[in-house]
Structure 1
Amino acid sequence: MDFSTTMEIFVSNYTLIDNEIYELWVEGVSAIEAVCQLKGKALLQQGSNVEMLQSEIEDHYRTYSLLERLLHNPAKIKDHQLEFQIEPQIMSMLIQRYYKFDDAVYRDILGKKLSTRNRKDLDDLSERTGINILSCRRQFDNAKRVFKVVEEMPGLVVKNIIDNFALDKELAKSYATVVFLGSLRFDCTKRKLQYLSFQDLSHCAHAIMANWTCKEQGPEQDDTEFDREFLLDLKDLRVMLDKDREHKQ
């Protein structure tokens, strides 16, 4: 009698993502703090204990840390599909959440040089806003990364951000605000402007980009630089205003 058994084995490296744990990781919450926040929730209700919960969270955190280098360069994620098997819609969600930001953080860095020195000031920002310092650093580094990639790139800045970072349009428009005001060195720290929120300044920035920059199709198309003819018109207008003042005197 033949007692041999035929078995079929399938090995997969499909990457499991827990939305709640990923959100805590993005916000800079430590694994220990995450355990405290998730105790008594669904994971424990399934019959696990605190030790099992901590082990699972730490495992997720390790996975997300490995994924982070890909999130820094979303355009090349397709080259690593064998390393991390993640469905496209899930990967899109990971990217959007990783690049999300707090208005208070980006309002503070608008117009500033994204330098190491200013990064050190994030401790004060974290204390003022109550936002986790690790989250502040992630947001600062994301802004700096996007800025460096698209600053010198010809074309429309929102499209360039979408193409290189796979962000949705609204999120890309917010990053375009950071790039535009940063590249033109707009001083958003003046006392007269302090009452304006990030969204207020973003609205103004996109109005300027839509009406005052080079939007015509061609090699010179760039909506982060002012249109030359428009600047010449402004110069002529200033001359006319000066003459008008002299006439009134």
Structure 2
Amino acid sequence: MLSEVDVFISNYTLVDPDIYQLWVDGHSCKFKWNSTLNRSTPIIENSHHSFLTHLASEAVNILHQRGICQETNAPIELIASDILDHYRTYALLEKLLHTPTKLASEQLAFQIEPQTSQMLIEMYYEFDDVVIRELLGKKLTSKSRKDMDEVSEKTGITLKSCRRQYDNVKRVFKIVEDLPGSLAANIEQHFLLSEDLAKRYAAVVFIACLRFEMNKRKLQFLTFPDLYHCANSMMSSWTYRCIGSEYFDTDLDREFLLELAECRVLLENDKHHKHLVCIKLRPMLLERSYQEIDTNFRSYTRAILGIGCNLHRSRDLRFFFLELVERCIEPWRQVNWTHSDLRNFLSVYTQCALDMDVLRDNELRDAFERYMTVVTCCLLRMYHT
């Protein structure tokens, strides 16, 4: 009997970005005996697509629909064989991708050009916002990994891709959680990621380390870009301003949080604060909006300051986002504030407080300004109208 054998010999490792993307996205191949051709052909696991007459590979089907046969003038069998060869190579590379520095400089098994190596790493560690949003607020345990089938069903992302993204987050988290200095810089150094992708992972690690509550029903409207925006603001303004081996991007400035608790002095002077705010806001708002702020100013300032004054307690810090939604965003939605109304109010509210004599102490003034910078940033981002 004659046997068909596919042989591929090469010097440099060839990487096709389109095929690699299919592999990264979880469109994985396996062999299935095809009695029609009397040969093994690649087939996608759990494929929901019926492919032509004798091939059942989703990856081949996708490229076929993109017109690869017309572009290359190659028969579909040759395309399938080439894809399968690429998949074998990527499977061998995957272990190295778990430690990108080894792939880039320490291994000798594959001859890969630097720009190709960078592309492999960047694409492998890229993630879908909807998948990562499902992970936020959950512990990175084996049970969470088992829940990836639910995440896959909810997001429409393949199960293999969801598991890859989960494993990547856990891998990054374990390496950098105990490293001093900038989270993003540490991730760039250890995983050779671009600055933008490293910052996105840094936000995920930051939220995980501080164990923010993210799973409550009232928070489900928040997207990963929303939370990324807020986390970046916190890391920029609320962590220690010093550099050294004892300072971590995952630690909030404890002295700042304790000083912030003293800002309750503004509550004792809320009438004066309200007077200043109303004078400045009147020309900016419609009469209805102005009257609403005039009536409810005390409850709004109690909410804003109450959240800040308790952040030195771990439990209150954990529920920071939920508190913003329940105590601030929901009441403003009920009275139909526009985004412009909110921006004007927060800007004037902050500036008028800074102009008051009760904040003449430099440390207290600095703490309040640091707090309101982040709260304003978060509320404006989270306030979906």
Normalising by the smaller structure, the TM-score range is 0.7 to 0.9
Q: Distance in 1 between matches of 2:203 and 2:125?
A: 14
TM-score by length of 2: 0.57
Q: Residue by residue, what CA displacement relative to the aligned partner does 1:61-85 show, whole Å, maximum 9, x if unpaired?
A: 01001111111111222001x3111
The answer on 1:38 being equivalent to 2:94 is no
User: Which structure has the larger Rg over C-alpha atoms?
Assistant: 2
Secondary structure in structure 2 of the residue aligned to 1:207: helix
* 2:144 pairs with 1:118: yes
* Alignment pair present for 1:19 and 2:45: no
- 1:215 & 1:49 partners in 2: Cα distance? 62
How far apart are the structure 1 equivalents of 2:77 and 2:28? 16
Q: Provide the residue aligned with 2:129 in structure 1.
A: 103
2:180–2:244 contact (8 Å) kept in structure 1: no
What do the CA deviations read for 1:164-222 (whole angstroms, capped 9, x no partner)? 00111111111011100001101111222211110000110111111111131222221
Shift of 1:244: 7.8
Q: Distance in 1 between matches of 2:260 and 2:216?
A: 24
Please say if residues 214 and 227 of structure 1, whose CA atoms lie closer than 8 Å, have aligned partners that are also in contact: yes
| Partners of 1:66 and 1:43 in 2: CA distance | 27
Q: 1:192, 1:45 → 2: CA distance? A: 50
Q: Is the Cα contact below 8 Å between 1:214 and 1:220 reproduced in 2?
A: no
Change (3 A) 1:45 1:243: closer
Q: Measure the CA separation in 2 of the matches of 1:243 and 1:119.
A: 50
Shift of 1:44: 5.8
Contact 1:215 1:223 in 2 (8 A): no
The residue that corresponds to 2:42 in the other structure is: none
- Supply the AA of the counterpart residue of 1:38: L
Q: TM-score, normalised on structure 1?
A: 0.87
CA offset at residue 12 of structure 1? Answer: 5.8
Equivalent residue in structure 2 for 1:135, among 155, 161, 183? 161
Pairs within 5 Å for 1:1-249: 13-31=11-29, 32-39=57-64, 41-43=67-69, 45-77=71-103, 78-80=105-107, 82-237=108-263, 240=265
Deviation at 1:47, TM superposition (A): 4.0
Q: Secondary structure at the match of 1:225?
A: coil
Which residue identity is paired with 1:28?
G
Contact 1:114/1:144 (<8 A) preserved: yes
Q: Equivalents in 2 of 1:205, 1:153: separation in Å?
A: 18
Gaps of 5+ in 2: 1-8, 30-56, 271-297, 299-385
What amino acid is the match of 1:87? E
Q: 1:44 to 1:69 in 2, by over 3 A?
A: farther
- Amino acid in the other structure paired with 1:37: I
1:44·1:53 contact (CA, 8 Å) conserved in 2?
A: no
| Structure 1: segments with no counterpart, 5+ residues | 1-10
